[in-house]
Amino acid sequence: MAEERKGAVTMRGNPMTLVGPEIKPGQKAPDFTLVGKGLQPATLEQFKGKVKIITTVPSLDTPVCDAETRRFNQEAAKLPGDVQILSISMDLPFAQARWCGAAGVDKVTPLSDYRAAEFGQKYGVLIKELHLLARTVFVVDKNDKVTYAEYVKEVAEHPNYEAALEAARKAAGA
């Protein structure tokens, strides 16, 4: 049975339970298998040697998630070339592709955790009550070590963009 952290986050003020451990800087990033473009599996291994900004959002089809993903897409142009931004949600890959196309998001890689919520449980971001992912940002360096982690306390609020981007630049040696 996976660890449960009751009240770890709130959704519009209501306490929610996160399933899985809290990931902290200094830890090795847990491996994962997600579903990417064309229903192809996507793993941590595929992004080896890159600095990864990994964001999790409840759904790209909600205002804050939409704004957050667009913002990271804009910021990507200012980051070193070896920084990869991943946006993970429970949205189906078809919906993610449609949203990215409509939003003009082309520098963020959307990945889906809809099959088994494996990422959600390994990174402690699965909201038990909703079967959605909480809003988090992880920065993982080229050696797959977590250098930054933010679990946004109120899921309906934005993450600290500046801190995450600064951590990514630092991990990239820029």
100 included as an active-site residue:
no
To 5 degrees, how large is the angle CA 160–CA 155–CA 29? 65
Q: Which residues is 133 bridged to in the sheet?
A: 126
When computed from its CA atoms, the radius of gyration of the chain, rounded to whole angstroms, is 15
Residue 135 corresponds to which tokens in the numbers above? 């809003």
d(CA 97, CA 99): 5
Residue 36 corresponds to which tokens in the numbers above? 């990417």
Catalytic residue among 18, 29, 65, 167: 65
d(CA 81, CA 26): 23
d(CA 26, CA 55): 18
Enumerate the active-site residues. Answer: 65
